[in-house]
Amino acid sequence: MKLRTQLALGYGGIVALCLLLLGLLGYHELCTEARIREQLGVANFPDTKWGDYIEVGAYAVIPVVLFAGWLLMRRNLAPVERLTKAIAQVEVQNLQILLPRDQSLDEVDQLTAVLNSMITRLDGSFQQIREFTLHASHELKTPLTVMRGELEIALKDEPHDLAAHHEVFHSLLAEVARLTKIVDGLTLLTKADAGMVQLERQPVRLAELVQESFEDARILAEARSVRVRLAECANVTVRGDRHRLRQLFLNLVDNAIKYNCDGGDVTLALRRVDDDAEFTIANTGDGIPLDLQARVFDRFVRGDEARNQAIDGSGLGLTIVQWIAQAHGGTIQLESEPGLVTTAILRLPLTEAAAPSAG
């Protein structure tokens, strides 16, 4: 039974009871008391009789007021019914259409505003899921297509052509490694979203990690003649998971080398800023387009698709970097001047100021 019907029936029952009581009262005032006065021989003065009429009339106002309240109740509950019908029509395909509001700022209007906010968030979540599915399928499809082509070529070759098969197997192994990297990244992020990743909370000397990352960067930079420089390396300590922090620095260094120009520069620096350890890594190159700078930490976002076809990667590195930073109570941001320099700025709370819970 609808809420409006339940309230209407309850209110109608109250009105009926009031009418019954009013009838009994009127009968008592006009009939019973008159008969008693006649039996007792008490004079029935006109003013007393008019007083009875006034009393009965005053009581008669009660059902009128109740009936008016009943009508007002139905009117006030009408927006609830309209809201219910509007919510029933909400589907995944029409989440962009918000529920109508009357701007009265009453409880129903405020509830509508909250529901509209929730619908907007749902629409954003579904949009992210669609984009994620599209990008994931694209990233997985590319190595699978390469592997299929290599296998088809191998099957067409002569059985004794072992050298050609050896090259095919090397190519297949590289594509399998790429697929494994994508799947590992997705698995890590999925577990992180579900709160299933447990991080160690031990003192970590960031200077050691930065020195290791600096050596890694020098090795990675040799093939492209990129100059790597360690401008500053403060002796600071944070509380966290050394393995995950090492992964964070390695991803940042790898990006700084890959998304650079031949003969470019990479500059690393670790310093203490107030109660935080601040690590920056700046690299030259094309930079990040302005329309993508707000989405660089989204999954599978890699910038210029035409250029990225020649750059190995899954588009998950910065997403993992952001999760590791946030899991340690820190922040990560990128500042980019297209064509000049791109700087990643990582801040982590020092020692006991680190966040107590894993992401």
Within a domain: 108: no
User: Which residue is it, tokens 């000397």?
Assistant: 205
Q: What is the DSSP string of 55-98?
A: HHHHHHHHHHHHHHHHHHHHHHHHHHHHHHHHHHT--GGGTTSP
Within a domain: 11: yes
* Amino acid 317: pLDDT: 84
Q: What is the DSSP string of 306-339?
A: HHHTTS---S-HHHHHHHHHHHTT-EEEEEEETT
* Amino acid 230: pLDDT: 94
Where among 72, 89, 106 does a domain terminate? 89
Q: Are residues 345 and 213 in the same domain?
A: yes
**Over the stretch 63-95, which tens digit does the pLDDT of each residue have?**
777 777 677 677 767 777 777 788 887 777 777
d(C-alpha 209, C-alpha 346), whole Å: 14
Where among 48, 65, 89 does a domain terminate? 89
Is residue 204 within 8 Å of residue 211, measured between CB atoms? no
d(C-alpha 273, C-alpha 2), whole Å: 61
Within a domain: 270: yes
d(C-alpha 264, C-alpha 220), whole Å: 13
Q: How far is CA 4 from each of CA 63, 119, 146, 348, rounded to the nearest angstrom?
A: 20, 26, 64, 56
Within a domain: 25: yes
Question: For the chain, how many structural domains are there in total?
Answer: 2
CB atoms within 10 A of CB 17: 12
Q: What is the DSSP string of 170-228?
A: HHHHHHHHHHHHHHHHHHHHHHHHTT-PPPP-EEEEHHHHHHHHHHHHHHHHGGGT-EE
Q: What percent of the chain has pLDDT over 90?
A: 25
* Amino acid 135: pLDDT: 65
Domain assignment of residue 224, given as a range = 202-349
* Amino acid 102: pLDDT: 75
* Amino acid 162: pLDDT: 61
Where among 66, 89, 112 does a domain terminate? 89
Q: Are residues 81 and 214 in the same domain?
A: no
Instruction: Please tell me the pTM assigned to this model.
Output: 0.60
* Amino acid 307: pLDDT: 45
φ, ψ at 220 (rounded to 5°): -65, -30
Q: What is the CA radius of gyration of the chain?
A: 38
* Amino acid 355: pLDDT: 43
* Amino acid 183: pLDDT: 79
Beta-carbon contacts of 268 under 8 Å, excluding residues fewer than 6 positions away, are: 210, 213, 214, 217, 228, 229, 230, 231, 233, 253, 279, 280, 281
Within a domain: 121: no
Nearest to 7 by CA among 64, 63, 57, 80: 80
The DSSP symbol for 99 reads P
Nearest to 240 by CA among 284, 201, 297, 195: 201
Within a domain: 145: no
Q: What is the CATH number of the domain that holds 322?
A: 3.30.565.10
Within a domain: 182: no
Within a domain: 160: no
The DSSP symbol for 28 reads I
Give every residue of the chain whose pLDDT is below 50, as ranges.
1, 45, 305-309, 353-359
Please, is 182 exposed, middle or buried when counting C-beta atoms within 10 Å of its C-beta (0-12, 13-18, 19+)? buried
**Over the stretch 136-156, which tens digit does the pLDDT of each residue have?**
666 677 677 777 777 777 666
